[in-house]
Amino acid sequence: MKFLCVAATALATATAFTTSPGAFTTAPTSPALNDVFTAPGAAHRTRRGIVLADGKANAIRDRITTVNNTKKITSAMKLVAAAKVRRAQDSVMATRPFSETLQSVFGGLIARLGGEAADLPLLTQREVNKVTLVVITGDRGLCGGYNSFMIKKAEARYKELEKQGIACDFILIGKKAVTYFKRREYPIRKTYDCGQNPNSKEALAISEEIINTFLSGETDAVELLYTKFLSLIASQPSVRTLVPFSASEISQQGDEVFQLTSAGGDFAVDRKELEVAEPQDFPNDMIFEQDPLQIVNSILPLYLNGQILRTLQESVASELAARMQSMQSASDNAGALAKRLSQEYNRARQASVTAEILEIVSGASALE
């Protein structure tokens, strides 16, 4: 009897110390605690999105993120280009008083001299056997067709002059034009870079090269090919003769300025045509310390320098406007692509959720 009692006691003790399946189950770790001790890169690699049938859920989601980041970059580039257009506009306005005074003095001197001014070398027309083309492009891309339009215009002009039996060479401004024409072994006289903020020093170097080339007889005419700034969505490749000058053109040619505005929240350009500066009146009894012909001959290089600087500023403004438009188009395309990818991802996710629900219902029905 005592043996049975001892056995029963031992059996009860053993039962008391038997572990149940859930007795030592580890408590689930808090997701927030996991996030604290998990590195951002590891979290990205081990994150579990909704697994689609084709296994591309994370790839689509990452692509949406990339497209949205690209949209932010292109929008920022558009705003930077707009700020630079304003700076170019301020530069044009700053040089306008000097140009007006120069035009006024030149007109007065031409009226005073009459036909004597025609004897100046820079105003003398001669038989054209060789032409130098000054081509202005940009240093960088991402500006739509700005560079390609000007390069095509210059190449077409070169071939047109060759067909007429006129020799031709280039003075290139801008890395895009330099790269293009050097690869194709066109005759190049001189090359310059075209920065985003042209100044009088750069224009002076170009104008001196043009004048020296013309006065030395190495060329009979110099033509300038640049992009005329019309609006933020339009520009026009233009050709004009720089040297020899036309006295009537200098004294009677008007001007126009542009101003970037943001009326209504959208960028726009307000163009204003300026009248021809009135010729300065020099009385007949006025005595000049220098010969008026020498004064005119000194004014012409200043006028050429001003025209080069003005066309550089206008070309840069056209490039920046083209970049603004290009970045706006890129931003719109990125937004449309992100929207389409989001729709694709959502449709695939909904299909995956529906498939999982059907599997759960089918399993429950099978157990019944």
Are residues 147 and 135 in contact, defined by beta-carbon separation less than 8 angstroms?
no
Provide the 10 A C-beta neighbour count for residue 128. 14
* DSSP letter string, 131-199: EEEEEE--S---STTHHHHHHHHHHHHHHHHHHTT-EEEEEEESHHHHHHHHHTT--EEEEE---SS--
Residue holding tokens 């080339």?
A: 213
Nearest to 192 by CA among 97, 315, 288, 285: 315
**Spatial distance between the Cα atoms of 63 and 70, rounded to a whole number of angstroms:** 10
| Residue 143 annotated in active site | yes
Residues found in the chain: 368
**Spatial distance between the Cα atoms of 196 and 87, rounded to a whole number of angstroms:** 10
**Spatial distance between the Cα atoms of 281 and 66, rounded to a whole number of angstroms:** 66
The catalytically annotated residue of 5, 143, 168, 194 is 143
DSSP class of residue 24 equals: T
DSSP class of residue 38 equals: S
Given CA atoms 309, 206, 169, 320 in this order, what sign does their dihedral have? negative
Query: What residues act catalytically?
Result: 143
